[in-house]
Amino acid sequence: MFDAGVQIINNWKQQTDNLASLFSERKYQQAEKPMVQYIKDFNQALYIVNKQTLHQNIVDFKYKPVNVEERIAFISNQPRQYHSYIQLNELFKELEKIYARATIMEKNKN
């Protein structure tokens, strides 16, 4: 269940420095495409941890970062901004912790 989500998070962790470099070099246009992809990846991982299909509403999710709906909306509307990168990085960090908690809770159920 969680393997695909862990892969998404690990991929972000491996690529985040490259994306940070684009922003530090002010290559905002080049950063936009990977940012859009990583936003999609984050959403996919969020759905995986909640065992939901892509047609479900995030509002009802049990496992999610605080204010995730507003933060994703901000990032999605402004993927070229450095602050969007910072927010996405924080969301991935929070999701990693949520994954760990969800995994433990799933194991305790069984």
Domain that holds residue 51: 3-109
Count of structural domains within the chain: 1
CA-to-CA separations, 107 to 36, 38, 44, 58, 102, in angstroms, rounded: 33, 29, 22, 23, 9
CA separation for the pair 100, 106 (Å, rounded): 10
pLDDT score of 107: 82
What is this structure's pTM? 0.92
CA separation for the pair 14, 24 (Å, rounded): 17
pLDDT score of 106: 81
Residue-level pLDDT, tens digit, the chain, 110 residues: 458 888 999 999 999 999 999 999 999 999 999 999 999 999 999 999 998 887 788 988 999 999 999 999 999 999 999 999 999 999 999 999 999 998 888 888 76
pLDDT score of 110: 67
